[in-house]
């Protein structure tokens, strides 16, 4: 463990406010060993809540292939297997090789494990997935807002996009994020199905929120 709950929050804050993407990834390298336990201790259930949306919006939809972008140590994949009882293809993608290695050891039957700095178009075929999920990675010095259109290309028309960002992200990032989504809606590239807020760390004394977005690719 990193220590007390306060110690864990300080580690999280250090990652969230890193100076650049390289520093962010170095922080994840150092944190990987304690990552799952630490986030469990502070009640990080945003991936679980996102998978609940997956269950809700795929009840009458055939889903065979899911891409988890910014997968980290595989929380989303774990909840897809255990909570959603999803048995189809899951490919995971992340910039951090240490976290991907840990995810690979979880016996979650990932088809492809891809290391990639998420910028622009992803190294996968266009319109090759039924659902794209990205939980916890749309944040400063993680996945750039400008990557949204390229990421969305991986989902087939009619497919689902389920992703999150922190409500308390620096204003410039959150504002740019929402403005780009709004423009893509006006361009009839995507259709919003749902947006709602959840507590980011349910066991932490100081409550911050994450927004969960559910869109359909048009």
Q: Which of 166, 170, 162, 174 is nearest to 197 (CA)?
A: 166
pLDDT in tens, 165-182: 998 776 689 999 999 999
pLDDT in tens, 16-52: 777 788 889 998 998 999 999 999 999 999 999 999 9
Across the chain, the runs of DSSP E, i.e. the strands, are 65-69, 89-94, 112-115, 129-138, 155-166, 190-199, 209-217
Is the whole model's pTM more than 0.75, yes or no?
Answer: yes
Tallying the residues shown for the chain, one arrives at 218
pLDDT in tens, 107-150: 999 999 999 988 878 999 999 999 999 999 999 889 999 999 99
Superfamily of domain 46-217: Vaccinia Virus protein VP39 (3.40.50.150)
- The owner of tokens 């679980």 is 48
């Amino acid at each position: 463990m990193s220590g007390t709950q306060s110690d864990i929050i300080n580690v999280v804050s250090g990652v969230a406010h890193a100076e650049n993407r390289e520093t962010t990834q170095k922080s994840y390298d150092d944190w990987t060993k304690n990552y799952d336990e630490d986030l469990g201790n502070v009640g990080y259930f945003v991936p679980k809540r996102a998978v609940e949306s997956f269950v809700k919006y795929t009840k009458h939809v055939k889903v065979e292939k899911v891409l988890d972008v910014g997968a980290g140590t595989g929380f989303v994949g774990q909840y897809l297997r255990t909570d959603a009882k999803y048995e189809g293809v899951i490919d995971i993608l992340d910039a951090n090789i240490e976290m991907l290695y840990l995810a690979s050891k979880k016996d979650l039957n990932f088809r492809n494990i891809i290391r990639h700095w998420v910028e622009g178009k992803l190294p996968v075929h266009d319109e090759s997935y039924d659902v794209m999920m990205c939980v916890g990675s749309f944040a400063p010095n993680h996945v750039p807002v400008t990557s949204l259109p390229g990421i969305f290309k991986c989902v087939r028309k009619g497919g689902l996009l389920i992703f999150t960002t922190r409500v308390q992200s620096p204003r410039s990032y959150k504002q740019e994020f929402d403005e780009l989504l709004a423009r893509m809606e006006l361009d009839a590239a995507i259709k919003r199905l749902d947006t709602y807020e959840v507590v980011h760390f349910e066991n932490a004394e100081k409550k911050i929120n994450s927004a969960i977005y559910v869109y359909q690719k048009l």
